[in-house]
Chain A
C-alpha cells in the first residue's frame, strides 16, 4: 500500500523541491535541534557518507577518468572528431563521455541509493543504506585493470 501513497504525496513537491537526494543534507544536518530533546541515531547515513568519500578519492576513479581522457585522445587523433566538435555535442555519443559520466556519478549513485531517490523501487530501498556498493565497483575496476 505504501509505494502508491508516496507517489501521491511526493509528486506535487518534486518540481520545486528537487529530488530527496538534492536536499538530503539539509534535512539531516540543518534545521532546529532542541537541546532537551534527543535525536535519532543516523548510523546508516554516516557510513554511507564515508563510502562516498572513498569512492570519490579512489585510484579507481582516477583510472576511469584517465581512461576516458585517453579514449578522447584516440578519437581526436583518428581525425574523425575535433575538440570543437566534441564540445558541440559530438562527444555525447562517445565512449569517453560515458566513462566520465560513470566516474563522476559514482558519488551521486551511492548517496541516491541510500534514499532510493532516483528510482521507482520505493520501499525495497529502505534497507539499502546498509549495503556497501563500493566494493563491487572496486572489483569491476580491478578486473578491467587486469584485462588491460
Chain B
C-alpha cells in the first residue's frame, strides 16, 4: 500500500497578484495579465504577461537586503517564503524546482554560460532557506510544473523524505520569445483557447509554490493519481491521436481508483495553438470526459512554460475549495472537433475531484488527479 500524499499550502506570483487570493479573484473576474508591449525591439507590439520589476523589488526588499539575486531567483524566493513560514526545515525536507529556461537571460549578459545552470539556480534558492538536502530539478518542457508536483509526490512515497517544497518558475526573455516566434506559434492578440479563431499563444511569466506532506492535518487536497506518458510521435508537433495524453489520463485515473465519471472539472493546458487544443480535445474525447467542465487559464496568464502546470494547479485547488468552475477567458465559439465543455462565466458546482493536464515539446504529457479533503 502506497503512502498518501497531501498538499497543505500553496502560493503564486503573477502579473495579476502576489498571492493566491488576489489571483483567484482576478481569474473569477476574467482579468488578464496579458498586454501589448514594445519593450522588445525585434518584436514590436507583442502580447506578453510580465510582472513589474518595481513590484518584485518592493516585495523582495522587505525580505532581505543582503546578497545578489537574479530577478527569477527573487521571484522564486518570494513565492516560497509564505509556504515555508512557520515550518522547520529538517534533513527530511527536500526542495524541488521546475523550470524550462531558468536564468537563461544571463546568456545575453556575457556571463560564463555555466552561470545559467539550472542546478545552480536550485542550489541558490535552497541555500537561502537553509535546505541541507540536495535539490531536485525537473526540466521537462511545458509539463515541468505539474511533473515536479508528481515527482514530489512519488519521492514522499518511496524515499525517507517527509515533506517537499515545490517551486516552479520561468520568466519572459528574448530567448523564448524569438524561439516561439520562429515556430510561428505566437498570437498577435489576446489568445483564445479552444476557440475557432485561435491563432496561437501569448507568453507569460509566473512562479508558483506548494508544500507536500504525508500528514493529513490541515491538508487542502490529496494527490490521488499521476502519470506522464510520452506520445512517441514528434518532437514538436502534438500527436494527432492524443495518445500520450490519453494514456496519462487513464493511468492517473487508475491510480486514483475512480472512473472518469467522478471528475468534476478539468484544468487543461489549452495553449490556444491550432494543433495543441485539437490534440487535447481528442484525448479528452477518448477518455469520456467531454461532458466535464474544462478551463484554460492561458488568456489570464499567457503560457508561463515551466511555471504553468503548478500555477494552474494552485488556482484549481482554490477553485476546488470554493466549489467553482472557472471561466475560460478568450473563448467564444467551439473550435475543436470534439465538443469540450467550456464556461465563459464562473459557475458554482459541488466539487470533489479535478484533473490537471499538460503537454509539451518532446511529446511529453502529464495528468494528475486531486481530491478535496473535508477539513
A and B from one assembly?
no
